[in-house]
Structure 1
Amino acid sequence: MSDRNDNKPQTPWAKNLAIWAMIVLALIVGVSLVSGQNSGSDGTVIAYSDFIEKVDEGAVESVEIQGQELNGNMTNGQAFVTYAPDDPGLVSRLEEKGVTFNAQPAEGRSLMGAILIQMVPLLLLVGIWIFFMRQMQNGAGKGAMGFGKSRAKMLTEKSGRVTFDDVAGIDEAREELQEIVDFLKDPSKFARLGGRIPKGALLVGSPGTGKTLLARAIAGEAEVPFFSISGSDFVEMFVGVGASRVRDMFEQAKKSAPCIIFIDEIDAVGRSRGAGLGGGNDEREQTLNQLLVEMDGFDANEGIIIIAATNRPDVLDPALLRPGRFDRQVVVPRPDIEGREKILEVHMKKVPLAPDVIARTIARGTPGFSGADLANLVNEAALLAARQGKKLVGMAQFEEAKDKVMMGSERKSMVMTEDEKKMTAYHEAGHALVSIYEAASDPIHKATIIPRGRALGMVMRLPERDEYSYHRDKMHANLAVAMGGRVAEEIIFGYDKVSSGASSDIQYATSLARNMVTQWGMSDKVGPVMLTENQQEVFLGQQISQQKNVSESTAQLIDAEVKRIVEGGLARAKEVLTGHEDQLHALAGALLEYETLSGDEIKILLDGGDINRTDGPKPRTIGPATGASAIPKAGTRAGRSDGEPDGAVPEGA
């Protein structure tokens, strides 16, 4: 970072400490003055009349006279203190009784001490008042007198510095921001061709894709001051405070230009004006107006680059998005398979890895994961390895961590009968076997009957690459795989023993078939047209309105085509399983014995080989009902929806 950070105003803790020291010193002085007046007065205070009586009785041995204060000792050794009035005969009385006495002038500190004692409370009040005034007007803008101060923080990466080397999987966004950094480092390179520095860049992307990390990387790469602030820091309940903070922020930035200002979650202050009913928020709109003027108003702020981040670009005011304010919008997307592999490699550098860990395999099984999701996956694997007492994080820990992130924790407390456990195994074996014999289906990664979350089992298939569109043959293959579990139950246990475990399989198949008919034009009878369903508005259980988008005959045709396509998948699954029933039994038996089988083990088993494991079978008792298959899709995360019943397939299956 630049040496300009050395000129940053220091925190006034030392000055506050000095003020408190002065207050404590004043208290000590006051206490010492009060105690000083009583110095030497360690004896018993007696009345002057008693003192004269003791003198006459010869009970007084010695006396020290200091002004009107008399300190002395009795013949029995007792010390005493008394105060004498103006008594001219005191000395002759003491001489007559043979009392040893000594006289000293009265101390001149009494008047000064009295004055200081009077001033101590005043000094305390003044000190406390100065302390609180400084607290309210400190540089951080906190307190009642600092509402209008900017809360932007100067970022100094003295430790934990982030650079573009720590940012992976979003190469295009990195390149656009690298250009801004290069401009700041060498403006003449662009200026000689008439180029001007961009005034602002808006980072747009889903949560967790790395927008803030990119901003930190810019701070680590650019040798210029970097101010960081959140959009919510501008908005307060008092009108005008946010606008004042914007002005103060740009005033600070001008003193450090060229510099970068990063505004995180800018949608908190940059929402479209006049969108609300009954008028907008005056405070927020004033803040936005001030931000617009400062970014590109009558007085240009040269050398100040604004970088903002949001995941809601649709709600931002058009005046904020125009060139001259935000000259470019940098999309920070979810990473593809290559990007996920690079992100995993970045995070895996921080953990000790076993030789069997393959980042590419993990990347294939995490379509739709953001950078934050992948960082969490690596962390969960490391925590799992630590709980198991491992010295290295292996592929087994990554697989279990992935299942936990995608499906939920393993449900170890569930109990079910042997018949139900057997049905679960055949259900998953049906999914796996159909997937093997469907040429357009993705390769199987693993099959398991261990319940996680709301899914009581799954067959996971890993695509070879990210897919952004699907072909008709793959859709029909996915329909057949989804129906494989239900068909297996019917073949093995009979028509009357089919369970409800295929509920989400049917839901997925129906939704896919309906999209094929109404959106993707894959029905010859309906044709290549896009159709939307009739919509009904229901209030308190009663229909109050209906919007008809298709005719009754077309709606019936859509239903018939959806049913035909789903039943086609059911027929394909039944053809595969009836023709390979022996393999269905073998695969289900292996699942009952081992509970989890990898894709390679399934292929070995179907080729007639034996599964050899050093750990042997893991007998265990698991939960009720049956599981289903989990098929991750590009652009989505395999997970469950809250509305699915127990034993449901994860969303995206």
Structure 2
Amino acid sequence: MPEQKDPNNQDRDQNANGRNKPRQGGPGGSGRGPNQPGNGNFMSRGILGWVLLGGLAIALLLLMSNQQNQAQRLTHNEFYNLAERHRDEGGGIFKEAVEVRDDRIVAELTEAAAGELDSPPNNRVYTTISTDTKAMFVMNLRELGVDVEESPGGNALWSLMIMWGPVLLIILLIYFFVFRSLRGAGGGPGGMLGNFSRSKHKVMNKEHSTIRLNDVAGIEEAKDEVNEIIEFLKNPKKFQRLGGRVPRGVLLIGSPGCGKTLLAKAVAGEAEVPFFSISGSDFVEMFVGVGASRVRDLFKQAKESSPCIIFLDEIDAVGRKRGSGFSSGGHDEREQTLNAILVEMDGFDSSDQIIVMAATNRADVLDPALTRPGRFDRQIHVSLPDIKGRMEILKVHSKKIKVSPDVNLERLARGTPMFSGADLAAIINEAAIIATMQGKEFVEQDDLEEARDKVKWGRARKSHKIEEDEKKVIAYHEAGHAIVMFYDDDSEPLHKVTIIPRGQALGTTFMLPEKDKHIISRKQLIAQMRVCFGGRIAEEMCTGDQYNGTAGDIRQASAIARAMVTEYGMSEKMGFLLYGADENPSGYPVSERSYSDDTARMIDEEVKSLIDVTYSETKQLLKEHYDQLDALAKALLKYETLTYDEVSKIMRGETLDKATVSDLLEAEREKAKPAEGGTIRPDNAGLDNDTPGAWPSPA
């Protein structure tokens, strides 16, 4: 399967140049600072709450202790009978002296006596007494030979506190933490529900803004456009002298991972001003009106900290076009949030040193009121870096790792077309990990190449077992791609070819563009189709059969041919006319085609004719170079991976002097043998689990 340029594979964030973790709170931060109103009340209430919690815990412990000391209640006759048994059995009933209190007599029984009473709590029993009967009951107990001890009074109040104290504490806790918070839920400081209306932004003060424009590479034009914003934040009087007004809002537009957020942080770092950042999704909550309230809170705090920068990331989450038919009307939460943003941006005075920056990769869905002059009237396109930009980005990220002096970053930049800055940062990081796992002292060129392939197409599945007949088909398939790419002058230069599975592909043929291309000619499109056809034709010529592994090639070739006929006007029969699906002004594709059935049939015939002609040309090319095709396929089966120089030697009929897969496997077996004995180690470390005795591919 040939390498494809995928302009949509840009979904990483290029913030690898060092991000400072924003400090929460503090002066100018989100929430309340230590010197703001309402903070003292909140702190005093918090301390009181902890005191109440501590008192509740102590009361609960006392309550549990009191429960453990509970006793079983007996009638006077039952207690008296126990006293008589105590006398008759010589002291086998009461364990200690009987305790006489103001309102009861408590005794602790022996284990045997407690068992007869079904084991009362803690083997303790009691009977109630009154003031009139106390003296008579105590005298009777002493006559029966029971030891009696009178306990001092005052326990009634303590028992009452233990019984009702936890309940009172719980009521106080509910009052302080619920009712008082609900009373301030209208948005006052400390109100429980009022916290929803506060902005969830993060603040990075100028002391912590270490990112500068020198840390941003590959987007020179965007950097030039933000210089005047930096100058305005540093010296606003310079612009006021002639009556000029710097744009209030700057909209950064670009693919994911191109450095929009990094550029905004660099502007704040260069201007040395606070940086308020928040995502568009943070405005929207389950409560209606919360988003608008958070917008007002954000802009209020920003005005208190001016000059500053407000950065709204992914603004399309709340800034989509209104009235598209998918909202619930004027009370839609997202529309209210957007309206609040529009009003706040209109409320800026000429003296307000606040710049609102926003980032999105869907500028086509933004509301026109958001992008009109006076709001986001400056749009900066942060595009994918060209070869020079990729080179600069690789230099910036490679400073953080140990790189071998022989590394050619320009070669890597050539081999990464349509890569974003985040992709390039990921390549450098993956290369460092690969070199570390192999025990190298430096990151070498091979590590960078492997990291590029891993980021773009996935990890190589070297342990994946493929049968020999299938491997032969894959080898001829990739050899067909490589032969067409090698001999077709209009095709991109060949870089390497491999039959090692990677990602979803069982084999891959890589190309290495000599330069970035912004437009593509008809000949180059035809060459791309020839490369797609090369795999299927080679399979059929060498095996006499067809396989489903060419589904991706067929899909790509069909898309190119149809685009040439319906969109690019590259068909003489169909002429210079658009037949593809257009979009209506609302931004949604039209479901009905704008041409007749006869025209549709002509389009299908023209696409089929273009594919048939190109297929025949590719088949003729492979017939002319059948010997080279066969030799290249056999070399792939032998070596598994071949570079451009090695393919060139095979095309010239030369032999390769590199070690084969069998040689490398034999070397691995020799390393696995013990020092004596000459047998392979018993643990079979490194063997393929699927096939006994088979070793993983060292390629």
Alignment of 1:50-449 (within 5 A): 85=131, 121-132=167-178, 143-156=192-205, 161-276=210-325, 279-280=328-329, 282=331, 283-297=333-347, 302-411=352-461, 412-418=463-469, 420-449=470-499
Distance, in Å, in 1 between the alignment partners of 2:507 and 2:294 is 55
- Which is worse superposed, 426-435 or 140-149? 140-149
Q: Do the aligned partners of 2:478 and 2:509 also contact (CA within 8 Å) in 1?
A: yes
Distance, in Å, in 2 between the alignment partners of 1:454 and 1:311 is 28
Distance, in Å, in 1 between the alignment partners of 2:299 and 2:627 is 75
The letter of the residue matching 1:215 is A
Does residue 9 of the first structure (1) align with residue 33 of the second (2)?
yes
| Residues 31-62 of structure 1 deviation map (CA, whole Å, 9 limit, x = unaligned) | 779999x99xxxxx999x99xx99xxxx9xx9
Distance, in Å, in 1 between the alignment partners of 2:475 and 2:161 is 95
Cα 1:555–1:105 change in 2 (3 A) is closer
Shift of the alpha carbon at 1:272? Answer: 1.9
Alignment of 1:396-545 (within 5 A): 396-411=446-461, 412-418=463-469, 420-493=470-543, 496-497=544-545, 499-523=547-571, 525-526=572-573, 528-532=575-579
Q: Do the aligned partners of 1:141 and 1:151 also contact (CA within 8 Å) in 2?
A: no
Q: Percent identity?
A: 45
Residue matched to 1:538: none
The letter of the residue matching 1:19 is G
Q: Normalising by structure 2, report the TM-score.
A: 0.70
Distance, in Å, in 1 between the alignment partners of 2:228 and 2:176 is 49
Distance, in Å, in 2 between the alignment partners of 1:302 and 1:470 is 48
Shift of the alpha carbon at 1:469? Answer: 0.8
Cα 1:291–1:88 change in 2 (3 A) is closer
| Residues 354-397 of structure 1 deviation map (CA, whole Å, 9 limit, x = unaligned) | 44433222222222222233333334334444444545433333
Distance, in Å, in 1 between the alignment partners of 2:249 and 2:568 is 40
Q: Normalising by structure 1, report the TM-score.
A: 0.74
Cα 1:121–1:220 change in 2 (3 A) is farther
Distance, in Å, in 2 between the alignment partners of 1:216 and 1:306 is 12
Shift of the alpha carbon at 1:598? Answer: 0.8
Distance, in Å, in 1 between the alignment partners of 2:337 and 2:603 is 55
Q: Do the aligned partners of 1:532 and 1:550 also contact (CA within 8 Å) in 2?
A: no
Distance, in Å, in 1 between the alignment partners of 2:465 and 2:436 is 26
Q: Do the aligned partners of 1:181 and 1:222 also contact (CA within 8 Å) in 2?
A: yes
Cα 1:67–1:13 change in 2 (3 A) is same
Q: Do the aligned partners of 2:295 and 2:337 also contact (CA within 8 Å) in 1?
A: yes
Distance, in Å, in 1 between the alignment partners of 2:323 and 2:250 is 25
| Residues 521-556 of structure 1 deviation map (CA, whole Å, 9 limit, x = unaligned) | 444x42751241699xxxxxxxx987535745x843
| Residues 229-257 of structure 1 deviation map (CA, whole Å, 9 limit, x = unaligned) | 22222223333222222222222222222
Cα 1:114–1:616 change in 2 (3 A) is closer
Distance, in Å, in 1 between the alignment partners of 2:201 and 2:413 is 38
The letter of the residue matching 1:403 is D
The letter of the residue matching 1:443 is P
Q: Do the aligned partners of 1:33 and 1:113 also contact (CA within 8 Å) in 2?
A: no
Cα 1:230–1:277 change in 2 (3 A) is closer
Q: Do the aligned partners of 2:397 and 2:425 also contact (CA within 8 Å) in 1?
A: yes
Cα 1:63–1:129 change in 2 (3 A) is closer
Distance, in Å, in 2 between the alignment partners of 1:504 and 1:520 is 22
| Residues 584-611 of structure 1 deviation map (CA, whole Å, 9 limit, x = unaligned) | 3332222111111111222233344443
Residue matched to 1:563: 609
Q: Do the aligned partners of 1:140 and 1:150 also contact (CA within 8 Å) in 2?
A: no
Q: How many residues align?
A: 600
Cα 1:293–1:594 change in 2 (3 A) is same
Q: Any idea what SS the aligned residue of 1:147 has?
A: helix
Cα 1:335–1:106 change in 2 (3 A) is same
Q: Any idea what SS the aligned residue of 1:529 has?
A: coil
Does residue 603 of the first structure (1) align with residue 603 of the second (2)?
no
Cα 1:18–1:346 change in 2 (3 A) is farther
Shift of the alpha carbon at 1:512? Answer: 2.8
Distance, in Å, in 1 between the alignment partners of 2:488 and 2:161 is 102
Shift of the alpha carbon at 1:143? Answer: 4.8
Unaligned runs of 5+ in 1: 40-44, 72-79, 536-543, 621-653
